[in-house]
Structure 1
Amino acid sequence: MPQTDRILTTHVGSLPRPEQLLDLLNADDRGEDVDQQLLADTVRDAVRDQVRQQAEVGIDVVSDGEMSKIGYATYLRHRISGFEIGDAPRATPADLDKYPEYRDRLHASGDTVAYLRPICRAELAYVDRGPLQTDLENLTAALGEVQVTGGFMNAPSPGIVALFQPNEFYPDEDSYLTAIAETMKTEYDAIVAAGFALQIDAPDLGMGRHNKFKDLSDADFLKRAEVQVEVLNHALRDVPADQVRMHLCWGNYEGPHTFDVEVEKIADVVLGAKPSTLLCEAANPRHGHDWAGWAAAKIPDDKIFCPGVIDTTTNFVEHPGLVAERILRYADIVGRERVMAGTDCGFGTFAGWGGVVPELAWEKMRSLVRGAEIATEKLW
């Protein structure tokens, strides 16, 4: 979504769920007896409220906040058959393995993510389009009540689905990825057909290095990343590149992040993905310098950069002047017409989990908007 007269603003997608909705989502995910009409009404009202707040703050390209989803990848077990809740080893990030004192403090504080573990134990099939259709209808209705530039909806990449939902059915990882991609194509195509930008959440290309693939060499990880991009591109074969954006992430948690793979190593693979817009971390202390790595990369002329100019793991509210500085760095790399302003990650990656309290999440978004205005004043 190129622009010619100002820097547009957006965010990565997830927002904090209201308390009433959070209780219903968690109960429903656990399989408890939940009034489904009440849940549907609460989700619809939350989407309307979240879209309204985004518009009031001044965000240009808004989302439904992922109000209906328990987690950005694990929600799929409610739509896709073949997953069962079970027990399987979970890879911990290499940086938490390295610093067990910090890891143990996180566990003791309750700041780690807890979710039911879906495992692939049968052939995958997209069997229930109802929740997806409801999501599309809710966002369409909410957008009809506000004045914004556009809307987007999130869906996970095949690679991140495989990371969160281990395979115990398909003969190998590549077969599993292919099956996920063909299944997720249903969701990808429907989001674009509904008139929204599709955002592919692809932490597998960043976080995957120090999580699922932490025991591989960099060279072997890049081979896996190339396969994941190839599979993603195949799943996106019927949607135009300019209607798709992709989020690259190294994990939305406060931690050392000392094993995060460098941008310089993965840039070529990431830039080979079909989506025309790339949302990337650019604000947190481990990735604030990544602009230099992107500047050294061979960026195709049709790529738009949306750096995260707001950190989503801390309650510090960035000064608009700093936000503007971060935007200007990326404008220097690709030009002012090919830059948007976003956030490092979401504010509610998993329902009920996130380091930033809701009132400060909105304050950060206000700073994002003001920083984009300052950058616009300097660029035009």
Structure 2
Amino acid sequence: MTILTTHVGSLPRPADLLDLINAHDRGEEVDTGELARVVERSVHDAVALQAEIGIDVPSDGEMSKIGYATYLRHRMSGFELGDAPRATPADLDAYPDYKERLHRSGATVTYQRPICRGPIAYTDTRPLETDLATLRAAVEATGGSRAFMNAPSPGIVALFQPNEYYGDEDAYLDAVAAALKTEYDAIVAAGFDLQIDAPDLGMGRHNKYKELTDEQFLARAEVLVEVLNHALRDVPRERARIHLCWGNYEGPHTYDIAVEKVAGVVLRAKPGTILCEAANPRHGHDWAGWAAEKIPDDTVFCPGVIDTTTNFVEHPGLVAERISRFTDIVGHDRVMAGTDCGFGTFAGWGGVVPELAVEKLRSLVEGAALASTNGR
């Protein structure tokens, strides 16, 4: 049984695209024709590179997006740039010397802060339509057929983009979910797999909800999944995948909620494929937590077998070993091989240099081939 390969979505953007996309996000005057041409070229190059490496289910690398959730302010009404307190991860608060080192090194993310100050609605579908058409053309140019496109969960939008308009968080989540349904449905209608990025179910615990107990957080997580499932009501389960993440940064991660506690909630989400961390030092053992769960017979696991926060290039043998942990749980026919997170979560920011991101993806493909051979 051949184990397919994919990744979480974002790839390093080329330098000329970074200049244009960051200037555009800052509201500076940009040649929009040139920006469109550079995005299109970057998507074609990214898809061609993935095909050359051997990635079976590629993406557009999120080339057109400034960040995996904050890009929505360019497509939805209700968001304004402004100042609002930002929650910092509890593990960084607990180790101030390390936190200060990260700030000094420039290893922390900076981005324009969208704040909800009006009614949310999906008002401009043109960027989405362009993204879909560009990815389709790029995939067809490589002779491929299958690909995926990312969209954020309602919960992660609410985490990054605070609410100053709706009466409470639940009303805000409902409005965001209703708007996101436009994007979810369009991605699937275009023939792509839909990936829901949902760090709110992992990272949210030690970020936005760090003052809660685990039990209180899990109650909120149930709400987040319910809202997501409602937005996905017209998306077939097998066409959707969900990415669970505890934060794509190198840090202690000593406050990450255990997978054993959140697995049951995640399994109640509608997407049929789960992309989960399984490579970094804090979550490399999570296979045991998943193994203890009752996994639905139609659930596919896509463990992250490549760490996206370190420039070590994993040996294919180690990649195959990590994959085998999950094939032992659900069988070879229900496992894909992926990455812990993206290589360019925010434009211009990532822990892995571009040339080594490529080498890591090559190792991913080689390791999946080994695991496929071992499973015969």
**TM-score normalized with structure 2 length:** 1.00
Structure 2 residue aligned with 1:94, among 76, 90, 96? 90
Amino acid at match of 1:252: N
**141-150 vs 36-45, which deviates more?**
141-150
* 3-state secondary structure, aligned to 2:84: coil
Instruction: Indicate the residue corresponding to 2:118 in structure 1.
Output: 122
Instruction: Indicate the residue corresponding to 2:157 in structure 1.
Output: 161
Could you tell me how far 1:298 is from its partner in structure 2? 1.2
Instruction: Indicate the residue corresponding to 1:198 in structure 2.
Output: 194
Q: Does the 8 Å contact 2:69/2:152 carry over to 1?
A: yes
Structure 1 residue aligned with 2:226, among 204, 208, 230? 230
| Residue 149 to residue 373, structure 1, CA distance change in 2 (3 Å) | farther
Amino acid at match of 2:154: P
* 3-state secondary structure, aligned to 2:194: strand
Instruction: Indicate the residue corresponding to 1:26 in structure 2.
Output: 22
Structure 1 residue aligned with 2:45, among 22, 45, 49? 49
Instruction: Indicate the residue corresponding to 1:290 in structure 2.
Output: 286
Measured in 2, the distance between the counterparts of 1:364 and 1:147 equals 23
1:322 aligns with 2:318: yes
Instruction: Indicate the residue corresponding to 2:238 in structure 1.
Output: 242
Measured in 2, the distance between the counterparts of 1:377 and 1:335 equals 14
Instruction: Indicate the residue corresponding to 2:146 in structure 1.
Output: 150
Instruction: Indicate the residue corresponding to 2:361 in structure 1.
Output: 365
Task: Give CA deviations for 1:121-141 in whole Å, capped at 9, x if unaligned.
Answer: 000010000100000010000
1:379 aligns with 2:372: no
Could you tell me how far 1:149 is from its partner in structure 2? 5.5
Could you tell me how far 1:241 is from its partner in structure 2? 0.5
Structure 2 residue aligned with 1:36, among 32, 57, 77? 32
Amino acid at match of 2:147: G
Amino acid at match of 1:308: G
Could you tell me how far 1:150 is from its partner in structure 2? 1.2
Amino acid at match of 2:246: W
Task: Give CA deviations for 1:188-234 in whole Å, capped at 9, x if unaligned.
Answer: 00000000000000000000000000000000000000000000000
Q: Does the 8 Å contact 1:60/1:149 carry over to 2?
A: no
Where do 1:197-346 residues align within 5 Å? 197-346=193-342
Compute the RMSD of aligned alpha carbons: 0.5
* 3-state secondary structure, aligned to 1:297: coil
Q: Does the 8 Å contact 2:278/2:303 carry over to 1?
A: yes
Measured in 2, the distance between the counterparts of 1:254 and 1:285 equals 10
Measured in 2, the distance between the counterparts of 1:147 and 1:285 equals 37
Instruction: Indicate the residue corresponding to 1:76 in structure 2.
Output: 72
* 3-state secondary structure, aligned to 1:9: coil
Amino acid at match of 2:113: R
Q: Does the 8 Å contact 1:18/1:46 carry over to 2?
A: yes
Instruction: Indicate the residue corresponding to 2:135 in structure 1.
Output: 139
Measured in 2, the distance between the counterparts of 1:340 and 1:147 equals 21
Could you tell me how far 1:148 is from its partner in structure 2? 3.6
Q: Does the 8 Å contact 1:283/1:311 carry over to 2?
A: yes
Measured in 1, the distance between the counterparts of 2:150 and 2:216 equals 29
Task: Give CA deviations for 1:80-108 in whole Å, capped at 9, x if unaligned.
Answer: 00000000000000000000000000001
Amino acid at match of 2:152: P
Instruction: Indicate the residue corresponding to 2:107 in structure 1.
Output: 111
Task: Give CA deviations for 1:271-307 in whole Å, capped at 9, x if unaligned.
Answer: 0000000000000000000000000011111100000
**TM-score normalized with structure 1 length:** 0.98
Task: Give CA deviations for 1:10-67 in whole Å, capped at 9, x if unaligned.
Answer: 0000000000000000000000000000000000000000000000000000000000
Measured in 2, the distance between the counterparts of 1:299 and 1:235 equals 23
Measured in 2, the distance between the counterparts of 1:315 and 1:72 equals 22
Q: Does the 8 Å contact 1:62/1:148 carry over to 2?
A: no
Q: Does the 8 Å contact 2:139/2:145 carry over to 1?
A: no
Amino acid at match of 1:335: G
Measured in 2, the distance between the counterparts of 1:306 and 1:261 equals 20
Task: Give CA deviations for 1:224-263 in whole Å, capped at 9, x if unaligned.
Answer: 0000000000000001000000000000000000000000
Number of residue pairs the alignment of both structures matches: 376
Unaligned runs of 5+ in 1: none
